Amino acid sequence: MRGSLTTPSRTPVIFTRTMLWLFIFGYSFFLVGQITYQNYKMNHEIRFEKDKIKELDQKKHTYQLALLYYQSTSYQEIEARQRLLLKGKDENVVALPQAKSEPILSVASDSVINKPPPPAIPPYQSWWNLFFGNES
């Protein structure tokens, strides 16, 4: 018995060391998780920005092609013909009179035109007539 009283108990020291190591391990695991999540977010943003860059490059390419087309002589010739009503060097322009189309009205169509429109029926009355017949 005398030996047990003089030797200090190692249980609190072992418990303290175990708790310290568990805390260190848990905190390390938390930090690794946090860094992994930040890395994931950054990679996601990088992919998003790369997609935007690709889209802008495609727009730039489309605008460059449009610019080349608008600077071409064929576009300038088409616009000169349409807007300025110009003609080419060896072309002749022939102006034809426009045909005047007059409406042809017969007696039957004239009576239809002069006929007044039927009186407006409220929607609920139309539904009533549809389901139950023409009972007003």
The tens digit of pLDDT for each residue in 77-123 reads 888 888 877 777 777 777 778 877 766 655 555 555 667 777 788 88
pTM of the model: 0.44
Q: Average the pLDDT over 37-66 and give the result.
A: 97
Tens of pLDDT, residue by residue over 8-20, are 677 888 889 999 9
- Are 12 and 18 a contacting pair, CB within 8 Å? no
pLDDT of residue 109: 54
Tell me 136's DSSP state.
Answer: -
pLDDT of residue 62: 96
pLDDT of residue 1: 46
Provide the residue type at 22 as one letter: L
pLDDT of residue 7: 58
- Are 70 and 64 a contacting pair, CB within 8 Å? no
Tens of pLDDT, residue by residue over 19-44, are 999 999 999 999 999 999 999 999 99
What is the C-alpha separation between 46 and 38, in angstroms, rounded?
12
What is the C-alpha separation between 37 and 43, in angstroms, rounded?
10
pLDDT of residue 106: 56
Residue 52 reports pLDDT greater than 90: yes
Q: Which residue has the tokens 């426009």?
A: 98
